[in-house]
Structure 1
């Protein structure tokens, strides 16, 4: 495994308020072995160790994207395209999507719905070193109602037995977590509306408890206010979208938000780089309401995590920074956004060996031009990417 000493103007250790000016990171055998000032590290690290000097740059933890769909192509009809693509060609396309994410500085992704557990095969290939890509956490087949959101992925369930069997199949296929489509969604216009629930409280409780029996957490696609409350009561690990929709617009249930904070449930708002177009289509009044609710949740202490929904229409795999820029427009500070993209996401995903650059952590790190704490634009200029100590 490669050994290298990286030096840069800034090293963001993580959380983002821990910064070393003129810092250095020593990587060996796939892990971070030491962090400190460049002068101290240069004096103590053997001259035989290769150096990668990065003036004018920042070394920081690799980015984490908590919500992607590698099997989709981000085009206008990702569902139809996937349906027309053979498993062999789809696997190649998914590998290409994973590499696009890696080049953008994303070293960990959570895939929340694929076909035929192809993400598991890709995960295996990446872990074996057969291909380069970010670390993958795979949900495999999402659970949904009959005729429900993303039922075309094969996870329709209509009884307690069917729920248990699908979770068991996912576990056997190699799933790292369970995804449930708790509400309707835009990709399935023939199914329930976005604010409508697809499972009742008893079913959601069963999904969470059955997943836990297999050692898995649950990520819940939940748009509707009532559905969000039911998912929180059931004890899901993360809420995807969490847009508080009702038939008439949006309604933020502050009591449910208090429970989200108390139960340490993370919220992934799933914002893609084309968010300006989304807000335009939403309309100024509804866009303002959505932004106000996000700020209220932030003020209440909700832990937001980073996710782009990459693969759905307009959500390109290489535009991670665009998602963070959306939150910056709502008043989030750069340090908050970097924590959202690293330490907070690692915590929510249950990853204890990534998200910061302390000794012993997996060497998932990136080098970006400039200083992202001063200007987020730095994240669009990735010089180098390391995943488990391997330079991409």
Structure 2
């Protein structure tokens, strides 16, 4: 079935491109034409028409770091550990659909139990279930009782690392996740700044994953873990907090930041949608400013960024990705155009998705229609009229009522 979407402007990506009085023609799950309305409209035969007067068509949003197994409420970890597979599958599907109705057409899940997210991914791909495009890691690699050990990815030594990677490949993983440092929300695990794997072990993870054709995402807060992950050649670094030993301030190393930039490793800062409350209540003014300083410092070194939310953690909900993007505009000071590009074209490229993240003939029909001009005001992304995922039209929550 053909669909013709017209609007005051089309923003095809990458940043800086605009097509006034534009149109996108979709046939099935693919885009067949993008351009001025006068050129595209004659190509539509018996198309279903979506007209957005005063609106903008842009690529669907990409959230590069979520945990769909968690429900974003306080006590989520206890509920996760008590839930059986059937309950988790329903929650994963429901939260993925929440994200889709909020304009997110691609999600990368970086840690679940037994590859349950991958089963939902496959159901969506078959058309059995409505949902966004999903990428999943399955259980992340972590040492015994290490950060997020309860996902089932505990490993000790080279043989178990190889075995776990082979197991995740067998599950159908799209990416291998490794907990290079500790984390905050796992009781009795190493602290966030402490490395959990040696440089040699991280290099082994990368070799084995890349040999299987899979990228590597490394959770790394401590600078030693960040440096080891960069040297190993991971594909993305999650959080990248640059914590010094014993968490005594930031340990910013120019040579490591340059290596990250030169290798093309993307950094996912993973900030929550309600970042203002997070900064005020959880982080505090001093740590918030330090996080901003680190972002600007990495940016000066040419580091690429990809946005994510760590969705599933308390208050990090799935239906307000735009709130997380506003952090980069309102707090960091980047232009809406840059941030939108980062959350569409840039994120898709960082995740290895060639037909996602921009609007062009032959690309996937994943797109978003909003009222207003999000390149001038990022909050226009809240005013969603229509979401297309693989060409399937979804009425966003913002358009209901």
Q: Same fold (TM over 0.5)?
A: yes
2:35 counterpart residue number: 36
Contact 2:226 2:242 in 1 (8 A): yes
1:63 counterpart residue number: 61
Q: Give unmatched runs, 5+ long, in structure 2.
A: 395-401
Contact 1:7 1:52 in 2 (8 A): yes
Report which stretch shifted further, 259-268 or 283-292: 283-292
1:373 counterpart residue number: 375
1:333 counterpart residue number: 335
Provide the rounded CA distance (Å) in 2 between the counterparts of 1:186 and 1:214: 31
1:15 counterpart SS class: coil
1:242 counterpart residue number: 240
1:18 counterpart residue number: 17
User: Shift in Å at residue 253 of structure 1?
Assistant: 1.3
Contact 2:67 2:310 in 1 (8 A): yes
Contact 1:104 1:320 in 2 (8 A): yes
Number of aligned positions between the proteins: 390
2:203 counterpart SS class: helix
Q: TM-score, normalised by structure 1?
A: 0.98
Provide the rounded CA distance (Å) in 1 between the counterparts of 2:367 and 2:249: 41
Report which stretch shifted further, 232-241 or 277-286: 277-286
2:193 counterpart SS class: coil
User: Shift in Å at residue 39 of structure 1?
Assistant: 2.2
Report the aligned-residue RMSD: 1.0
2:137 counterpart residue number: 139
Provide the rounded CA distance (Å) in 2 between the counterparts of 1:205 and 1:46: 51
Provide the rounded CA distance (Å) in 1 between the counterparts of 2:45 and 2:363: 23
Matches within 5 A, 1:52-131: 52-131=50-129
The CA deviation string for residues 295-344 of structure 1, in whole angstroms up to 9 with x for no partner, is: 11112211100111110111001110111111112111111101110111
Provide the rounded CA distance (Å) in 2 between the counterparts of 1:74 and 1:49: 40
2:344 counterpart residue number: 342
1:391 counterpart residue number: 393
1:194 counterpart SS class: coil
1:268 paired with 2:293, answer no
Provide the rounded CA distance (Å) in 2 between the counterparts of 1:85 and 1:371: 43
1:249 counterpart SS class: coil
Q: TM-score, normalised by structure 2?
A: 0.95
User: Shift in Å at residue 12 of structure 1?
Assistant: 0.3
